[in-house]
Amino acid sequence: MKPTLAPGLTQETQHIVDDSRAISFMGDDLRVYATPSIVHDLEYACRDLILEHLEEGMDSVGARVEIEHLKPTPMGKAVRHVVVVEEVKGRSVTCTIDIHDDLEKVATARHTRFVIDIARLKKAVAQKREAMG
């Protein structure tokens, strides 16, 4: 990890709530930003921020997500994920994320990721795959 990976780093990403990000089980009138899609988007937003501050051959994997989905955002509308690095403790990086649409905060979350060595993880996965048959 580079010394630039530190609390206070901030990054913003934006998405449009499209068909792939919206629930469908309540009918067309209630196609809104789905909680699992929020989690997917915030994981990638955090990873992208952290990745800028890692050495080559390093990445991060998700370890914990806490989310409070507060308000609906209809399909076709934009959402912004504002990520802030809250804590860096060894290989553990915790971020807070506020998600807003054009009117209000729609969710808030806390996400912890672990910095990993890609080659080492590949080896561990291959060993587990082999052990599982």
What's the confidence (pLDDT) of residue 107?
98
Q: Give the mean pLDDT per block of 10 residues along the chain (133 residues).
A: 96 98 94 98 98 97 98 98 98 98 98 98 96 93
Q: Which domains does the chain have, with CATH numbers?
A: 10-132 (3.10.129.10)
What's the confidence (pLDDT) of residue 115?
98
- Cα dihedral: 116, 122, 128, 132 (round 10): 140
CB 67 within 8 A of CB 109: yes
What span, in angstroms and rounded, lies between the C-alpha atoms of 126 and 5?
30
What's the confidence (pLDDT) of residue 32?
97
What's the confidence (pLDDT) of residue 3?
94
What's the confidence (pLDDT) of residue 34?
98
pTM: 0.93
What's the confidence (pLDDT) of residue 48?
98
What's the confidence (pLDDT) of residue 65?
98
Across the strands, what pairs with 88? Answer: 93
What span, in angstroms and rounded, lies between the C-alpha atoms of 117 and 122?
9
